[in-house]
Amino acid sequence: MCYCAVSCSFMLVHNMGKIAVVGNLKGGTGKSTISVNLASALSKHGSTTLVDADEQGTATDWANGGELPITVIPAPLLEDKATAQWVKKLAGLSKKNDFIVIDLPPNTGLALRTALLLANLFIMPVTPSGLDLKATGKAVSILKVVRRERGKKKPPALLVPSRVDKRTSAGKEIEAVLHAYKEPVAPCIMQRSAHVDAFTSKEWIGDFAKNTLAHQDIESLAVLVRRIMEDG
């Protein structure tokens, strides 16, 4: 899809529902866990839809037969098929919702760039591993390109330390390492078994383990996300 088609569609979604894109170039970062739980937390403050753009469909599986407080719509965004139709669908959803959360596929190129051209905020989960940090650097580079293309409407980013175990040296250092990218860094989403159990139970963490540390991690992230998008 050409840049012109995406930029024209950006005009459609601008000033409608706020769009938060969750992704990284590497899988296994906890992006679907963050997407589902963040969208569920945001739903307390306005109508919220989660767009499952990952063909693996983790968020869709989570919603099927469960009781999530959000609508989850499967809409895979593929490297070779990032079409105007997908963007128009997003524009339609943006008209009907206060918040859109997009769970991106873990890949490079057109899919990430397309979503970033439409985003009000790019949320990048990063686990304390060398491979994740390498992928994060590449994703930040793509973000910088998109910011130049969007001119005054530059999307902010939020790096989210994910699946963190503070008992390890990597877990203790992850926040300081991420600050080197000169983008805002969120409080850690700690490695907690409750997140896995919530997925198995097909609930979001606020229903499955309300007021626990796992729930508090997500609520803190949601407060920060709302603040950034409202300021933008």
> What per-residue string of b and e applies to 147-182 under the rule 16 or more CB within 10 Å gives b?
bebbeeeebbbbbbbbbbeeeeebbeebbebbeebe
Kindly give the parts of the chain with pLDDT less than 70: 1-16, 79-82, 108-109, 232
Q: What is the pLDDT of residues 30-87, one digit of tens each?
A: 999 999 999 999 999 999 999 999 999 999 999 999 899 999 999 998 766 657 788 8
How many folded domains does the chain comprise? Answer: 1
pLDDT at 194: 97
pLDDT at 2: 46
| Domain limits for position 35 | 3-231
pLDDT at 26: 83
Q: What is the CATH number of the domain that holds 156?
A: 3.40.50.300
pLDDT at 1: 44
In the beta sheet, which residues pair with residue 126?
Answer: 161
pLDDT at 132: 79
